[in-house]
Structure 1
């Protein structure tokens, strides 16, 4: 049973890990992050870190006993349109993301930045006046249903937005589950679910198992390979191995439709360690 005390501890730990990003020391990579956030603050009313960035910071501390270094940083801004972000950071734009945001590059760091109202779920649901507190309800995975203020008010901790705390429940139970099923890229959700479960060695919840089986059984190894390359830039796991995982989950689901399931992992078949 997950207790309120356990979740409160995780929230305090996450606030500490985020504040660590702002502490200047001899780490060159941190200086680049601080510089980017400083420039963003000059032009943006409010902003939050979102999703996988926060998960990476917290999991690195909990399971590896060290400060995290995310592969990239997801930031949602309020008060700026995409065109305004383009104008302000035009020399740092590397590409437009699949959801219409912008990927900015600064000293080999990648920042995915988009306006709050451009969040796909808000547009799909025709939400006219979204708030940062609504963001956790927009993610496909429970382990991305989290946001936190980039800047804190003087004398106060950064505000955490976690809705019903699915994010912290998932961390504590080591379970990946669906938060919001509607998503325009089901094949990507399948691949990311498998990669995340394998790298974190977390279990998949019953809704996610059903989703992976439903949308994954029609994927070929070539499809899986292309999705990995498109999203990660390379293969994280052998595509045939991931296809075997889908078949394994289909068999497991047929005998237990309500339980959680762990992938049959073979460490030597891993390509790269998980950082997103």
Structure 2
């Protein structure tokens, strides 16, 4: 019998201290100093792959990429004048410290909040798990409070072992399509029904962008158009797609 989501939520919450230790043990001392300094200026949250991989037992020795959300709109180039940085999309920062790349996003500047997906004037952080594209991203970790902010879709991900959509509103559907196949291969999980419909429905109109988005994102073409077209045909024949 499948576990109840409430039980999974409890198990995730109980690993807060353990995850905090895991995070700090896998970053260089210079990154730790930066994170702790930033943590003293604003609230910081980890999101994306580090948390997902931790809970499905894909462990890393050292993190090469860290994604953070900060609560306050701090001008990091003024606060940390010696850091190497670039401005990333939506007003965030990409910072390189030793062998680690840190992407930092300001919560009120995220794409979902600024494009009509959420209109709340309060409690931004607790609503963010509702705005992710993939269900495995529907979770955050507060470094200040040492606790998880857990979306129900992340719990379903752990229970069902399926990659699924939380919110299909996204500025880069071509990247969502490519990333779906990338994460299916990496995680060895199957697609959920909503994701299958999304990939099939958006494939044709984004076909010409599939190569360029891979070069931009991966610095290489991981999946040829012929391969992706063949995979789309397989999805069209799948029981999930044909289910009414």
| TM-score > 0.5 by shorter chain | yes
Aligned length: 240
Alignment correspondent of 1:160:
148
Indicate whether 1:101 and 2:101 are aligned. no
* Counterpart contact for 1:14–1:54, Cα < 8 Å: no
Aligned with residue 110 of structure 1, among 82, 101, 104: 101
Alignment correspondent of 2:11:
9
Superposition map of 1:230-269 within 5 A: 230-252=216-238, 256-257=242-243
CA distances 1:82-141 after superposition (whole Å, capped 9, x unpaired): xx1232235434422233311111002111101111111111124434421111011111
Name the SS of the counterpart of 2:209 in structure 1.
helix
Q: Please tell me the root mean square deviation across aligned C-alpha atoms, in Å.
A: 2.5
Alignment correspondent of 2:190:
203
* Counterpart contact for 2:164–2:194, Cα < 8 Å: yes
CA distances 1:40-67 after superposition (whole Å, capped 9, x unpaired): 224x2211111223113322xx2x5x45
TM-score by length of 1: 0.77
Name the SS of the counterpart of 1:21 in structure 2.
helix
**Displacement, 1:254?**
8.3
Cα distance change of structure 1 residues 127 and 86 upon mapping to structure 2, 3 Å threshold: farther
CA distances 1:156-211 after superposition (whole Å, capped 9, x unpaired): xx221113x21122023111111011111111111111111121111111111011
Cα distance change of structure 1 residues 228 and 90 upon mapping to structure 2, 3 Å threshold: farther
**Displacement, 1:224?**
2.4
Alignment correspondent of 1:76:
69
TM-score by length of 2: 0.85
Gaps of 5+ in 1: 153-157, 259-276
* Counterpart contact for 1:116–1:130, Cα < 8 Å: no
Aligned with residue 193 of structure 1, among 152, 161, 180: 180
Name the SS of the counterpart of 1:214 in structure 2.
helix
Alignment correspondent of 1:261:
none
Alignment correspondent of 2:129:
136
Name the SS of the counterpart of 2:141 in structure 1.
strand
4+ residue runs over 6 A deviation: none
Gaps of 5+ in 2: none
Indicate whether 1:57 and 2:54 are aligned. yes
For structure 1, which segment, 231-240 or 70-79, has the greater mean C-alpha deviation from structure 2 after superposition?
231-240
Aligned with residue 150 of structure 1, among 140, 143, 146: 143
Alignment correspondent of 1:273:
none
Name the SS of the counterpart of 1:104 in structure 2.
strand
* Counterpart contact for 1:57–1:69, Cα < 8 Å: no
Name the SS of the counterpart of 2:233 in structure 1.
helix
Aligned partners of 1:32 and 1:190: how far apart in 2?
36
Indicate whether 1:177 and 2:164 are aligned. yes
* Counterpart contact for 1:177–1:208, Cα < 8 Å: yes
